[in-house]
Amino acid sequence: MELGIAGKRALVCASSKGLGRGCARALAAEGVHLVLNARGRDALEQTAAEIRDAYGVEVITVAADITTEDGRAQVLAAAGDVDILVTNAGGPPPGMWSDWTRDDFVAALDANMLTPIALMQALMPGMIARGWGRVVNITSGSVKAPIPVLGLSNSARAGLTGFVAGTARQVAGKGVIINNLLPGIHDTDRAAALDGGVSKAEGISMDEARKKREATIPAGRYGTADEFGAACAFLCSQHAGFMVGQNLLLDGGAINATL
């Protein structure tokens, strides 16, 4: 399917690895020029070089922490006007509801709610002025079904989801389409870290921990960053213009719900 976005410019946050990189690669494959971001410079430059070589698009890199005001300012200055925004950042650590402090909640809200909101506030006025834009927020399946050990994530992402639900309907008439992509378990460093938590808590090997988590997924496996990226590219395409404020779950059927 021709997505009709060749030549557009996209900012993909937190994109040197994992799901963000999957989104960046899928957009580049459609001819979209990119601004990529992550904190660590080495993996970021490596990903940028791979994408330039594979797809021949322009790729600008900004090594900065997207969850800080200073980091966002650097990224936004380098990005300039973009047509497509993919928000992403690392997820909060697992833990126990009784242990989290106010500071833990503030950090989670900053990273996974207030950062994507600040990026939308900065970039959507330009999209509205030009009459076209796409925003995809990488959130989590925890928005649909809570993951008890990830209470910080459950909380922050629910807040972002509420913001998007209203705002998407305010900007759709101006040509700007906002949707959320909700990953279930995907084969990334983050998934390996969570496997490690299960392995440690239950005294089982990493392989056993993975098999145990795979058994909870009807598809019988973890998702891939490429599959995730393909869904993101569709949401950024010309064809997604009537899909407003939706929460698209990619979880291999793990959440057992009819709707």
Which of 66/209 has CB closer to ligand NAP?
66
Contact residues: ligand NAP, CB under 6 A: 14-20, 37-40, 43, 65-67, 88-91, 138, 140-141, 183, 185-186, 188-191
Taking the least distance from each CB to ligand NAP, the nearer of 82 and 191 is 191
Which amino acid, residue 22? G
Half-sphere exposure of residue 148: CA atoms within 13 angstroms, side-chain side:
2
Cβ closest to ligand NAP, residue 133 vs residue 141: 141
Residue type, 145: A
**136 versus 176: smaller Cβ distance to ligand NAP:** 136
Q: How far is the CB of 122 from ligand NAP (least distance, A)?
A: 16
Residue 242 Cβ vs ligand NAP, minimum distance, rounded to whole Å: 26
Place of tokens 């490429």: 226
- Residue pair 255/145 in contact (Cβ under 8 Å)? The answer is yes
Compute CA distances 206 → 87, 91, 167, 189, 200, whole Å.
30, 20, 41, 13, 9
Taking the complex as a whole, the smallest distance from the CB of residue 254 to ligand NAP amounts, in Å, to: 10
* Residue 230, φ and ψ in degrees, nearest 5: -65, -40
Is the Cβ of residue 175 or residue 199 nearer to ligand NAP in the bound state?
A: 199
Name the minimum Å distance from CB 241 to ligand NAP. 25
Give me the residues paired with residue 178 across strands: 135
Pairwise CA distance, residues 158 & 108, whole Å: 12
Q: For residues 17 and 27, give the distance between their C-alpha atoms in angstroms, rounded to a whole number.
A: 15
Distance in Å, CB of 259 to ligand NAP, minimum = 20
CB of 138 to ligand NAP, least distance (A): 5
Residue nearer to ligand NAP on the CB measure, 54 or 147: 147
Both tokens of 57, joined, read 């698009």
Residue closer to ligand NAP by CB (options 21, 171) is: 21
Q: Give the pair of three-digit tokens for residue 163.
A: 């913001």
Phi (first) and psi of residue 161, to 5 degrees: -60, -40
CB of 55 to ligand NAP, least distance (A): 18
User: Which residue type does 248 have?
Assistant: L
